[in-house]
């Protein structure tokens, strides 16, 4: 129970769990219908808690804290998989018109009569409908454009009543009227429940719109475009028809962006979001909020944008993105956490689970909510995270390290402390894997990631396997966030060691980030297997780690200096099991 004081009246309030509960609380706080409607709309429109608190203009800190809890519960009362009519392009400082996509959609719905766009939550469905309506209104001034979002309707609504209010009749009435109408229906998966929504007539009448080579020429110009979370199949299902709008590639149109971001950061944003429109806007919204001052100084934008997108604040923002599954929800699916943990170690992950197994059910559920994708490659099913941001979010929540100190170390000290904390048992099991084995590379990366989380001060963010998202054309194994801003490359037995060192100074790879401050320190760490020849090469940015036969000890060599360390770290049992499954 929390104490909430508004308009001078104190009320004891339990956390609301349903919209009916919320309505009951609002009726107590706001007896007048007009006041209650205004507050209800404001609560739903405001996406940011701080803005919501400023709206209520309450100076009492304790009341603000209570109201903050209340607003959080209001937003949580809505199913995460549903959007509302206030999402999409609303309130954005930048838009992309995506005219080619809109033109193709309009032509396609003209050919077919009606379309269903299926996609995971927050993948850009609402924005696409809004852009289509804007495009159609401009290109066809006489067209009557109507938008309906079923998530805005109360439980137990009748779809014909909604159409009557917005269109002046049922779908049959509109078709018979012969008018030019474009009807856009968002969150139409709600209407799959025909009894609850009274949508049986709608689905039957929709068949009259069907056009194509076998259909009779239509005497009307009614077009219906619907958007649904997942459509009739899970989000990873293959697209049967190549002309389906669901298979239209999404490209972000840079010239339409107002933000002064260089190509380096634009490519980074596109890469980590896998070019999904919803995730793109999450990244750009965050940058727009955080770089309000830096945008006036173009020279600092790229560096500061890089800091922001690798910050703990940004990873925390991902916890509220609807298209990225919450960790608590993953835990509720049997075998899901273990499956995603294996995927961290090996990606793509080949799977062949029995149909009645918990793992197969987990794959289906995770695909359905858009957390992973299932692809067929050379006759085998392989799993991948939907985007690097999906992977980073799960990684961030799953591996919780305990900071042992807040001291700042030199690069040599950081590497020595990291080697001390590696698990000899895991290192021993990698000895039989070849130096060019991709599974080995990923296994060592995840072990180092665990070590760094245990080692670095609280608040640091470690980004493993960042690939070319560092900018330019470079690849990197690890990036440690500000204030250290460290790039680390890991090699085994001297493989491509010179190539890695030269890459750090390549003007087209990492050099731009070194120059603008995005990377302050960099090093190549070469791990040598027992019995490997001693390294002869020395370099200011090269560290060689020579392991003993049982991996219980190591010698860290740098510029002729040798430091002997005891390797005595211990991964948890679940991590060891995930590793064993990944390398079997």
DSSP string, 349-378: EEE---TTSHHHHHHHHHHHTTSEEEEEET
Tokens linked to 514: 């070194």
pLDDT digits (tens, 9 = 90+) for 500-523: 787 766 655 666 566 656 678 888
Kindly report the pTM of this predicted structure.
Answer: 0.48
Sign (positive or negative) of CA dihedral 168, 169, 175, 177 = negative
pLDDT(234) > 50: no
Fold of 99-247: Rossmann fold (3.40.50)
Q: Decide: 315 and 392 in contact? Cβ < 8 Å.
A: yes
**DSSP-assigned letter for residue 419:** H
Crossing angle between the packed helical segments 388-398 and 336-345, to the nearest 10 degrees: 110
pLDDT(471) > 50: no
Round to whole Å and give the CA distance between 218 and 234.
32
Which ranges of 225-368 would DSSP assign to H, the alpha helix?
263-272, 277-290, 298-309, 312-318, 327-331, 336-345, 358-368
Q: Decide: 149 and 201 in contact? Cβ < 8 Å.
A: no
Rounded mean pLDDT of 309-319? 81
Instruction: Tell me whether the omega of the peptide bond preceding residue 483 falls within 30 degrees of 0, making it cis.
Output: yes
pLDDT(475) > 70: no
Rounded mean pLDDT of 437-449? 68
Round to whole Å and give the CA distance between 532 and 200.
72
pLDDT digits (tens, 9 = 90+) for 355-385: 888 998 898 888 877 888 888 777 778 888 9
Tokens linked to 82: 């549903």
Which ranges of 456-526 would DSSP assign to H, the alpha helix?
497-503, 511-516
What are the sequence ranges of the domains in the chain?
A: 2-76, 99-247, 254-318, 327-385, 399-583
pLDDT(284) > 70: yes
Burial of residue 327 (CB within 10 Å: 0-12, 13-18, 19+) is: middle
What burial letters (b/e) apply to 276-312, b meaning 16+ CB within 10 Å?
Answer: bbbbbbbbbbbbbebbeebbeeeeebbbbbbbbbbbe
Q: What pLDDT is recorded for position 103?
A: 87
pLDDT digits (tens, 9 = 90+) for 480-489: 877 777 888 8
pLDDT(405) > 90: no
Q: Decide: 421 and 454 in contact? Cβ < 8 Å.
A: yes
| Least-confidence region, from 185-189, 229-233, 330-334, 456-460 | 229-233
Rounded mean pLDDT of 446-472? 67
Give the β-pairing of 221-229 and 114-119.
parallel
Other beta carbons within 10 Å of 421: 22
């Amino acid at each position: 129970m929390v104490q909430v004081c508004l308009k001078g009246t104190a009320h004891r309030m339990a956390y609301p769990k349903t919209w009916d509960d919320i309505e009951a609380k609002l009726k107590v706080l706001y007896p007048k219908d007009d006041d209650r409607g205004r507050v209800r709309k404001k609560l739903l429109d405001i996406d940011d808690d701080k803005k919501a608190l400023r709206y209520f203009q309450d100076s009492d800190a304790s009341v603000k804290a209570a109201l903050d809890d209340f607003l959080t519960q209001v937003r949580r009362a809505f199913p995460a998989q549903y959007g509302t009519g206030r999402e999409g392009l609303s309130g954005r400082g930048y838009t992309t018109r995506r005219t080619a996509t809109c033109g193709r959609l309009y032509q396609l719905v003209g050919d077919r009569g009606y379309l269903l766009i299926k996609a995971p939550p927050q993948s850009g469905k609402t924005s696409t409908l809004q852009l289509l309506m804007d495009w159609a209104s401009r290109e066809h001034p006489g067209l009557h454009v109507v938008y309906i979002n079923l998530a805005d309707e109360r439980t137990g609504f009748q779809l014909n009543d909604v159409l009557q209010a917005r269109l002046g009749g049922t779908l049959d009435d509109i078709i018979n009227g012969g008018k030019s109408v474009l009807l856009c229906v968002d969150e139409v998966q709600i209407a799959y429940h025909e009894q609850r929504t009274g949508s049986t007539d709608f689905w039957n009448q929709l068949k009259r719109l069907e056009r194509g080579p076998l259909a009779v020429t239509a005497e009307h110009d009614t077009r219906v475009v619907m958007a649904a979370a997942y459509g009739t199949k899970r989000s990873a299902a293959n697209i049967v028809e190549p002309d389906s709008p669901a298979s239209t590639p999404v490209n972000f149109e840079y010239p339409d962006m107002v933000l002064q971001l260089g190509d380096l950061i634009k490519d980074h944003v596109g890469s980590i979001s896998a070019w999904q429109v919803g995730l793109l806007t999450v990244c750009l919204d965050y940058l727009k909020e955080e770089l309000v001052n830096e945008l006036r100084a173009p020279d600092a934008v790229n560096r500061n944008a890089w800091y922001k997108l690798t910050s703990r604040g940004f990873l925390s923002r991902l916890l509220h993105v609807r298209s990225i599954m919450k960790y608590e929800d993953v835990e509720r699916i049997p075998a899901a956490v273990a499956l995603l943990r294996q995927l961290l170690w090996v990606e793509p992950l080949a799977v062949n689970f029995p149909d009645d197994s918990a793992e197969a059910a987990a794959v289906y559920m995770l695909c359905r909510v858009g957390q992973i994708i299932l692809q067929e490659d050379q006759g085998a099913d392989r799993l991948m995270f939907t985007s690097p941001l999906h992977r980073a979010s799960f990684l961030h929540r799953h591996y919780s390290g305990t900071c042992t100190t807040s001291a700042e170390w030199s690069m040599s000290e950081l590497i020595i402390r990291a080697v001390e904390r590696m698990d000899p048992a895991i290192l021993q099991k990698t000895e039989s894997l070849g130096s060019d084995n991709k599974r080995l590379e990923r296994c060592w990366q995840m072990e180092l990631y665990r070590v760094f989380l245990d080692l670095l001060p609280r608040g640091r963010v470690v980004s493993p396997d960042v690939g070319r998202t560092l900018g330019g054309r470079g690849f990197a194994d690890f990036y440690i966030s500000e204030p250290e801003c460290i790039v680390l490359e890991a090699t085994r037995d001297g493989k491509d060691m010179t190539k890695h060192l030269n890459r750090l100074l390549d003007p087209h790879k990492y050099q731009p980030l070194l120059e603008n401050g995005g990377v302050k320190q960099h090093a190549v760490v070469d791990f040598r297997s027992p019995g490997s020849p001693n390294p002869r090469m020395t370099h200011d940015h090269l560290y060689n780690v020579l392991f003993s036969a049982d991996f219980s000890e190591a010698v860290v060599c740098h510029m002729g200096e040798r430091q002997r360390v005891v390797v005595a770290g211990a991964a948890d049992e679940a991590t060891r099991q995930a590793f064993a499954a990944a390398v079997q």
